[in-house]
Amino acid sequence: MMAMMAMMRIVLDFGNTLHKAGIFDGEKLIRLEKYTRLNRPKLNELLTEFPDVKAGIASAVVRYPPGIKKFLQTNLNVFVELTGATPLPLINRYKSPATLGSDRIACAVAASRLFPEDPSLVINTGTCITYDLVTAQNEYLGGAISPGLQMRLKAMHTFTRKLPLVNLQDPDGLIGTTTRESMISGAVYGAAKEVLGTIGAYRKAYPNLQVILSGGDMEYLDKLLKIRIFALPNVVMVGLNYILEYNLQYAK
């Protein structure tokens, strides 16, 4: 059992925007690759570089090439595809687990591992901004989903006649002096105020709440929040690694 638990592992996260592959040595992320599309040759290249990887997990919120699953099942001693039936190291109280995104449950598992004695809220800033709550009793309750920063900018362009398509960047200030500046200010400052308000509401209900901020767009919000939070850029990958570690005990 101990030898199996000490295996080097590969963690795959197929997200809406990027596909990510992480190599873990125990709890340490030693390599992270990001792809617009991960395919079998690229995966084979990574595993060839790390021949000691013997276990892996894949999480997907989008469809990914079926050949990747077969390749991992063939080349690893243990492979876990995260589904609603995968054993988890927490109690899942979500009322519709079949519709729960695997990225959200990975966030929750990471939080429960990092703060086992406190309630915790994970805020993941990707395509959407997700909020996921874990209680001090190790129960995942759920949370919220709202549009991400880039989605807000794209929506303003898509659903109006004259607003341009604007690339995400740091706002020059609170007051935008051009249409582009105004859109960026509205998206970023608006999201920051949403995050602050949500944290405040959760902390009223859970006074000892720990807050984790993560995701590809966290840098735009982190500098505006100015409150006590724990920044963990790759929280989904960390959570998936913990889920894999937990499932290794069931492997034969």
Token code pair at residue 195: 């995050």
Active site residue 172: no
- Amino acid at residue number 216: G
CB within 8 A of 72, min separation 6: which ones? Answer: 10, 43, 56, 58, 79
Dist. CA 8–CA 18, nearest whole Å: 23
d(CA 80, CA 91): 19
Number of H helices, E strands in the chain: 8, 11
Nearest residue to 11 (alpha-carbon basis) of 29, 189, 226, 219: 29
Residue of 13, 25, 52, 103 marked catalytic:
103
Backbone angles phi, psi at 207, to 5 degrees: -60, -30
One DSSP character per residue, 238-252 reads HHHHHHHHHHGGG--
For tokens 């309750």, name the residue: 141
Catalytic sites, residue numbers: 103
